[in-house]
Amino acid sequence: MKHKKVAVIGAGIGGLAVAIRLRHKNYDVEVYEANAYPGGKLTAFSQSGFRFDAGPSLFTLPRLVDELFELSGKDPRDYFEYIRLDEICRYFWEDGTELIVPADVQEFAREAEKTLGEPAENISRYLSQSRLKYEVLSGLFLEDSLHKFSTWLSAKAFKGYLNLPKMGIFGTLNEANEKAFKTSKAVQMFNRYATYNGSDPYQTPATMSIIPHLEYNVGAFFPKNGMHDITQSLYRLAKDLGVRFHFNEKVTEIIVKDGKADRIRTENGISEAFDAIVSNMDVTPTYRKLLPGHPHPDRILDQPKSGSGLIFYWGIKKEFKTLGLHNIFFSDDYKTEFEYQFNKKEIYDDPTIYLNITSKHQPTDAPEGCENWFILLNAPANDRQDWQAITEKARKNVIAKLSRILRCDISPLIVSEEILDPVMIEHRTSSDQGALYGNSSNNKFAAFLRHPNFSKNIRNLYFVGGSVHPGGGIPLALSSAKIAADLMA
């Protein structure tokens, strides 16, 4: 039997996942990737004896990765191992408050009461409501196409309609959190979940309160060989299944014939005809660069973008016992920090610092007596700011803040350094304005202002990855691949 042929543009996690799913559906799959390596944002590098995961550092819903191996009749553990973390995060404030959040919800609630003065039942109640909201809303908003009539008539949709009054989806995340918690520190901790899709807690809808459910009730995980192992193992699986990869092969045009996506043009020439084309490239440049002369869904493409990141990768010649795998050093003025990010499009002078240290779990990631520090600041998407000036100022502020809170001069401990800014993110992965999660989720219609996983105008053209439905981040990019593959015959 003649197999159908599909081209996948991009080998990010969304592209790898859809390639595996389509191979399972017996397609002949060719993946065209501009870079010399697979993984897109989910990649890694080594420098002076330190190993760094370059992009994501938090791993939730690992079953979505396991599912790809199981679907292919493979044992995921032959490819990829991870552990469930018994500590979620360490939080630090300038006033000297430190809170280590354990994975066990009741223990966390007790710790929050002891350290922050937040009544334990507020934490437990919030997390059970977060679970309920996730169970009701995820089926509708995260697992199916919102752009097919059948979705709105499904049992999942009716469950959503019936539970709508209980969902607390009106108002902003910050408003919901101010109602749920007594202390400003607990509000801040739960406001931070807006940043998991690059949005602003003072604007994003209260539905985002479903996010903590993943970390606390389902769990936070760590791949034994680092985050990079997620895409490395999926790449190995795809190759074992017969997916063909073309690296250093940037796609420059999707050629449409008789209203149907037909061939691709790369820097090396024109491909054979395909039965379908799936773009894992950000949807905005897919239309604007690869499909010039075709109608574009400008209303969607012109939506404000999610936040980006400014990342410092530092090799540190010291070990800090007070730090864990995930650490947050909060800004004293969270609201102003987001005003800077989304309105002024700058980084506030007292930024919230996320510090990830994989050598806490994988000692070979740093030389003996040292630690590999991945420091992420929430940054605006690229709007042609002076990134050199922003970076220099932010670097000074980060060093000063960490030195103050850790009571140790950090500067002389930095023995190796790399930096990633929004311009570089855009350059390396074609993400529009270097946004980490596509369009922003800073309004209540955001879910409907993401592009569907298929084109409404061009037949046989599909979309996966963090810039389209259901959204950015590893779990949602994986979900987009499932939705797109399910839509394909």
Q: How far is the CB of 124 from ligand FAD (least distance, A)?
A: 25
Q: How far is the CB of 111 from ligand FAD (least distance, A)?
A: 23
Q: Residue 317 burial (CB < 10 Å; 0-12/13-18/19+)?
A: middle
Of 180 and 208, CB closest to ligand FAD: 208
CA distance 257 to 276: 12
Of 41 and 116, CB closest to ligand FAD: 41
Beta bridge partners of 373: 314
Beta bridge partners of 222: 83
CA distance 469 to 148: 12
Of 159 and 289, CB closest to ligand FAD: 289
Q: How far is the CB of 121 from ligand FAD (least distance, A)?
A: 30
Of 116 and 390, CB closest to ligand FAD: 390
Of 116 and 271, CB closest to ligand FAD: 271
351-384 residues labelled b (16+ CB within 10 A) or e (exposed): bbbbbbbbbbebeebbbeebbbbbbbbbbbbbee
Residue showing tokens 């973008």: 305
Of 205 and 466, CB closest to ligand FAD: 466
Beta strands in 66-216 (DSSP E): 82-84, 87-92, 98-102
Q: How far is the CB of 479 from ligand FAD (least distance, A)?
A: 11
23-57 residues labelled b (16+ CB within 10 A) or e (exposed): beeebbbbbbbbbeebbbbbbbeeeeebbbbbbbb
Of 159 and 428, CB closest to ligand FAD: 428
Contacts with ligand FAD, residue ranges (CB under 6 A): 9-15, 32-35, 40-42, 55-58, 250-251, 280-281, 309, 311, 376, 425, 429-431, 436-437, 465-466, 472-474, 477
Per DSSP bridges, beta strands 28-32 and 5-9 are: parallel
Q: How far is the CB of 60 from ligand FAD (least distance, A)?
A: 7
Q: Name the 3-class secondary structure at 309.
A: strand
Q: How far is the CB of 2 from ligand FAD (least distance, A)?
A: 26
Q: How far is the CB of 476 from ligand FAD (least distance, A)?
A: 7
